[in-house]
Amino acid sequence: MKKIQISPSILSADFSRLGSEIKRLEEGGADMIHVDVMDGHFVPNLTIGPPVIKTLRNYTKLPFDVHLMISPVHKYIKDYADAGADIITIHPEATDNLIESINLIKKLNKKVGVSLNPDTKLNIINNVLSQIDLVLIMSVFPGFGGQKFMPEVVEKIKDLKKIKDEKKLNFDIEVDGGINFTNNKIVIDAGANILVSGTTIFKENNGNIKKNIDFLKLV
């Protein structure tokens, strides 16, 4: 079984001091930093773009796990790669040609992720699973932090883990949306090895980031 990793979402951080928030996450034991990029079109919210990511890159050597919720995504991939993303995750619905977009991310020497919304079926990515590094299962509809976990996605995680094991593939299974101390074990047992969490990491236990990350990892 792969080691459990935590990718804290800076969507729940204090945006007035993002650099120091990222340093706090690194000191607290984060494995990577999850950056939610939203365009107000593919999802109903606007967040940050390449210039902010480029600036934040100066504050940590941790991998930037960049989730692009923008459409059309293909023409922006290089901008985020150049800004300092290490993992670039895209939605199948946001590109005219998923394989072409995957190949572009690889060509830029970045890890490739594909994200599935709660109502997106697994079979849409069956033919690319051998070509990607990560599948991000959304356990909320993307757009805003602080939403409640949708338990119906647990079966999807289990099904994905089964396909992964049967085909002897090596991609990571990441879950994002409402992850907290009551459902973390459920998604880990289902097959997830990377948990994205924002509100829980920044707000629980009076903002004790190390304690919250350890709790999420089941340490």
Which residues does the annotation mark as catalytic? Answer: 36, 176
pLDDT in tens, 93-129: 999 999 999 999 999 999 999 999 999 999 999 999 9
Q: Kindly state the average pLDDT of the residues 132-153.
A: 91
Residue 145 pLDDT greater than 80, yes or no: no
- Using one digit for the tens of pLDDT, what is the confidence trace for 154-213? 999 999 999 999 999 999 999 999 999 999 999 999 999 999 999 999 999 999 999 999
CATH number for the domain spanning 206: value is: 3.20.20.70
Q: Count structural domains, the chain.
A: 1
* pTM score: 0.96
Q: Which domain holds residue 194?
A: 5-216
> Mind giving me the DSSP string for the chain?
-PPPEEEEBGGGS-GGGHHHHHHHHHHTT-SSEEEEEEBSSSSS-B---HHHHHHHGGG--SPEEEEEE-SS-GGGHHHHHHHT-SEEEE-GGG-S-HHHHHHHHHHTT-EEEEEE-TTS-GGGSGGGGGG-SEEEEESS-TT-SSPPP-GGGHHHHHHHHHHHHHTT---EEEEESS--TTTHHHHHHHT--EEEESHHHHHGGGG-HHHHHHHHTT-
Mean pLDDT of 57-78: 97
